[in-house]
Amino acid sequence: MSEQTRSETAEQTSEKLVELAKRRGYFFQSSGAYGGVGGFYSFGPQGAALKGNVEDAWRDRFAVQEGNMEIDAPTIMPEPVFEASGHLDGFDDMLVECPDCGESHRADHVVEDNTDYEDAESLPIPEVEEVIAEHELVCPSCGAGLAGQAVEAFNLMFETNIGPGDSDPGYLRPETAQGIFVEFPRLKEYARNQLPFGVTQIGRAYRNEISPRRSIIRTREFTQAELEYFVDPEEDEPDLESVEDVEVTLYPASEQNSEDGGELEITIGEAVDEGIIANEWVAYYLGVAKPWYGAVGVDMDRFRFRQHLSGERAHYAADCWDAESEIDGNWIELAGFAYRSDYDLSKHDEYSDDRFTIFKQYDEPKTVERATVDPDMSYLGPEFGGAAGDVVDELETLAERDRSAFEGDVVEIELEDESETHEIPVEKTGFSVDEETIAGEHIVPHVVEPSFGVDRLVYTVLHHAYREDEVDGEERTYLELEPEVAPTFVGVFPLQNDDDLEAVADDIVDDLRDAGLSVTYDDSGNIGRRYRRQDEVGTPFCVTVDYETIENEETTVTVRERDTTDQKRLPVEDLAETLAAIREGNLEFEDL
């Protein structure tokens, strides 16, 4: 099959999937009665259930099994939070506006869609402008030339006001992470001030995307599942042994920058030993995430981890790897695994009125020398006036940084807003070096962040599960969803509209629901049509109550498996227990 044919086939699959999603209640553009609005989607009954199951699976693996806490923070936060985090100045995409139709587009997407550049996001703006001009790229909407048009940085945050009148400015959070970071002073108390500890959150985030596209892959409102893991960088180490044998496909920056570079098939342990993954904490979470993605239904033949190039890393990330899946011949980001160092907590410690540190107690008390100043304010006040406080701050900082500056008769300082150097007699500074016994020190923890996009994962799971085949001479469409995440686990059908059959079916529905299984009841249309409906929404099993059920001495029903369409007769009294065991992975249908 040619590349063009494969691309056309992939696009056709996506078109069919989007149509199926709308018809069967997975997802659809919101506010359709008012013409719809770009970048906002509603999840229907099937989609909400699938999304909830994916979130529950994530919560089980990354919160419960890892022993981490979970919080639920507000989606609107005051402006100072984002001043501290750097989002006001550094959370931008590249915008180019069409000179004819006025439509705005992401410049890096225009480049990627029409050239060989795969990661135009990592390019500086002047280079993107050069590429647009060199390739004579045009507006995707009207075809007008974009050469010579300015590419500008566009901040993605939604602004709002908090309160009436002279209200305070605020923003809808662009990530759930800041809701965790700003609450660190309290969260550390819940962790008994002991590192390491992790805090998770699953919730909505908002980004005013320039050109949202590809249904729920790129939207303006979406769900994130994030873990912020706080560590002591000098002492805490991950349990690498538990994931060292996990085989992964890596696409490191060195391979991306090489003309003949490619993906590497390697284990987590080997990647760490060879320095391909420099940070052990990042390596650990890649090893945890790989099997989890497979368990929820991502095709591992279309999955990899790609390292960020230096130009595309977020302002807070010392290193970052993305989990990516292949959709329609393109790789899309599913999650980011970043080592954020102490950037976030240091910023909030600097900007806020609280302490974002943890007290680290030494094994044994230490005697240290402390350089301090106790300035003579009767001298500094008349000499510097209102700037005397700034002088004291500079003296304190200098004493901590360079005590040798106080060895002469005078000490020189520069105030932040002045270029002039001031000389102050050392005797007026109260400088001294004293011995002090301390039990520990306050440290700013470092942060490791696995950040998962839930909506994109839902789309990937559906796309990778989409199947077409032929059953009994008829074409069939079905979703080969994993039982753990399928919106409905079992459908129950009475063969005919018969009171006796319907009574047994009702009892079976109650029993299965009591066992914790998601069940749908369907008595509309012929049995084949009902099977096809459940196949199309991905229901793994269907139970049919027929006349053998009520006429034979042993009460049995027909259980049909979705993927193979194989059928078996099973006792009703064991049905709930058997299906529950299959869902938990403790029993295989073919072994019955």
User: What is the DSSP annotation of 493-526?
Assistant: EESSS-HHHHHHHHHHHHHHHHTT--EEE--SS-
Cα–Cα distance between 108 and 92 in angstroms, integer?
A: 12
Q: Does the CA dihedral 247-330-220-95 come out positive or negative?
A: positive
In this structure, the answer to whether residues 198 and 145 fall within a common structural domain is no
Domain of 310: which CATH number? 3.30.930.10
Please give the biggest Cα pair distance in the chain. Answer: 109
Domain of 541: which CATH number? 3.40.50.800
On whether residue 482 sits in a domain, the answer given is no
Is there a contact between 226 and 95 (Cβ–Cβ < 8 Å)? no
pLDDT band of residue 336 (cuts 50, 70, 90) is: very high
Q: CB burial class (10 A; 0-12, 13-18, 19+) of residue 119?
A: middle
pLDDT of residue 3 exceeding 80: no
Q: What share of the chain is helix, strand, coil (3-state, %, to 5)?
A: 40, 30, 30
Q: Which of 453, 479, 514 is the last residue of a domain?
A: 453
Q: Which of 412, 442, 472 is the last residue of a domain?
A: 442
Domain count, the chain: 4
Mean pLDDT, rounded, for 479-488: 97
In this structure, the answer to whether residues 203 and 270 fall within a common structural domain is yes
CA distances from 270 to 26, 242, 336, 571 (A): 40, 14, 21, 50
- In this prediction, residue 173 carries a pLDDT of 97
Highest mean pLDDT among 411-415, 450-454, 471-475: 450-454
In this structure, the answer to whether residues 217 and 314 fall within a common structural domain is yes
pLDDT tens per residue, range 437-448? 888 889 999 999
Cα–Cα distance between 272 and 244 in angstroms, integer?
A: 9
In this structure, the answer to whether residues 374 and 501 fall within a common structural domain is no
In this structure, the answer to whether residues 163 and 282 fall within a common structural domain is yes
The identity of residue 299, as a single letter, is: D
On whether residue 352 sits in a domain, the answer given is no
On whether residue 467 sits in a domain, the answer given is no
Sequence-ordered alpha helix ranges (H) in 191-318? 253-256, 268-273, 280-296
On whether residue 465 sits in a domain, the answer given is no
pLDDT of residue 535 exceeding 50: yes
- CB within 8 Å of 104: residues ≥ 6 apart: 95, 96, 97, 98, 154, 210, 211
Helix, coil or strand: residue 287? helix
Give the containing element (helix H, strand E) for 359: strand 358-372
Which of 269-297 are b and which e, b meaning 16 or more Cβ less than 10 Å from the residue's Cβ? bbbbeeebbebbbbbbbbbbbbebbeebb
Cα–Cα distance between 469 and 475 in angstroms, integer?
A: 6
In this structure, the answer to whether residues 144 and 181 fall within a common structural domain is no
DSSP state of 417: T
Please give the residue range of the domain that contains residue 123: 93-155
On whether residue 7 sits in a domain, the answer given is yes
pLDDT tens per residue, range 13-49? 889 999 999 999 999 999 999 999 999 999 999 999 9
pLDDT of residue 406 exceeding 70: yes
pLDDT band of residue 137 (cuts 50, 70, 90) is: very high
pLDDT tens per residue, range 53-99? 999 999 999 999 999 999 999 999 999 999 999 998 878 899 999 99
Of 508, 519, 509, which Cα lies nearest the Cα of 583? 519
Beta strands in 71-179 (DSSP E): 76-78, 92-97, 104-106, 151-155, 159-162, 168-172
Q: What are phi and psi of 466, to 5 degrees?
A: -70, 130
Left, alpha or beta for 462 (phi > 0: left; psi -120 to 50: alpha)? Answer: alpha
- In this prediction, residue 7 carries a pLDDT of 44
- C-alpha 588: how far from its chain's center? 32
Of 349, 325, 343, 296, which Cα lies nearest the Cα of 449? 343
In this structure, the answer to whether residues 312 and 192 fall within a common structural domain is yes
In this structure, the answer to whether residues 432 and 291 fall within a common structural domain is no
On whether residue 404 sits in a domain, the answer given is yes
Mean pLDDT, rounded, for 501-523: 96
Mean pLDDT, rounded, for 121-139: 93
In this structure, the answer to whether residues 220 and 285 fall within a common structural domain is yes
Above pLDDT 90, what percent of the chain? 81
Cα–Cα distance between 239 and 245 in angstroms, integer?
A: 12
Q: Which of 121, 137, 155 is the last residue of a domain?
A: 155
pLDDT of residue 1 exceeding 70: no
On whether residue 355 sits in a domain, the answer given is no
Strand partners, 372: 432
In this structure, the answer to whether residues 203 and 295 fall within a common structural domain is yes
On whether residue 470 sits in a domain, the answer given is no
In this structure, the answer to whether residues 146 and 164 fall within a common structural domain is no
Q: Quote the crossing angle between the two packed helices 45-59 and 280-296, to the nearest 10°.
A: 140
pLDDT tens per residue, range 213-243? 889 999 999 999 999 999 999 999 999 999 9
- CB within 8 Å of 400: residues ≥ 6 apart: 371
pLDDT tens per residue, range 342-379? 999 999 999 999 999 999 988 888 888 889 999 999 99
Domain of 106: which CATH number? 3.30.40.230
In this structure, the answer to whether residues 59 and 132 fall within a common structural domain is no
Give the containing element (helix H, strand E) for 20: helix 3-24
Tokens 């800041």 correspond to what residue? 178
CA distances from 341 to 260, 310, 314, 320, 445 (A): 33, 16, 12, 11, 8
